[in-house]
Amino acid sequence: MPVPRSSAAAPRVLLRERALETLRAAIVDGTFEPGERLVDAELCAWLGVSRTPVREALTHLEKTGLVQIQPGSRTIVAPLDVRAAVEAQAVAASMHELAAREAVPLVQETHLHTMRQANDEFAAALAGADVDGAIAADDAFHRVFVDLAANRLLAGVLRDVTPLLRRMERVRFAGLSGRSSVAQHRSIIEHAARADADGAAALARANWLTLQPPTS
């Protein structure tokens, strides 16, 4: 069968991805609070898209634990859930361990500089009680290994599980307990600088396991 000369799939995919990213960010940053009802018509007006990409985005967010859909009834932002958080934490820790193990042999001084700079920004954000800044800097720090690993499956898994943990981090980074991550990041950098992939991987895993799940 001949390949079609044109397709309308690309614009639809782009609309769905835009809706997904925007909705996911709004849930993670607390714009939409746990238990809040999400109304299709309001979301369509806010995002400037039709109902189809909104429903597709919500369906994906349900699969990753950020929303709950009750067919024929309503869609709400998922409450913080201990079990879901623990499961996401275990997966994220394993993925970052793998990313570090694959990335460290490829690390150059420019990558170490990026990590040091991100950690400095992370420390400054924590000191200034800037939770959004802390999360952004933490993302930048860990993204170095993820990007270097260049493992698409790994990156895809992290895109799905990390938002569940970001809601936990908003609590952790708002308090003093988050400051221990600054020293953990420094240790990861030191091991990476020595080309100690196993050591950096173990520390990366431990760093993600320090998050405390929400209480039920």
Question: What is the three-state SS of the chain?
Answer: CCCCCCCCHHHHHHHHHHHHHHHHHHHHCCCCCCCCECCHHHHHHHHCCCHHHHHHHHHHHHHCCCEEEECCCEEEECCCCHHHHHHHHHHHHHHHHHHHHHHHHHCCHHHHHHHHHHHHHHHHHHHCCCHHHHHHHHHHHHHHHHHHHCCHHHHHHHHHHHHHHHHHHHHHCCCHHHHHHHHHHHHHHHHHHCCCHHHHHHHHHHHHHCCCCCCC
Express each pLDDT in 118-151 by its tens digit.
999 999 998 898 988 988 999 999 999 999 999 9
So what's the pLDDT on residue 71?
Answer: 78
So what's the pLDDT on residue 177?
Answer: 57
Band (pLDDT 50/70/90 cuts) for residue 13 is low
Express each pLDDT in 173-201 by its tens digit.
665 556 789 999 999 999 999 999 999 99
Domains of the chain: 9-77 (1.10.10.10), 82-209 (1.20.120.530)
So what's the pLDDT on residue 175?
Answer: 57
Express each pLDDT in 96-117 by its tens digit.
999 999 999 999 999 999 999 9
Q: How far apart are the first and last CA of the chain?
A: 55
Q: For 38-47, 88-97, 165-174, which range has the lowest pLDDT when averaged over its residues?
A: 165-174
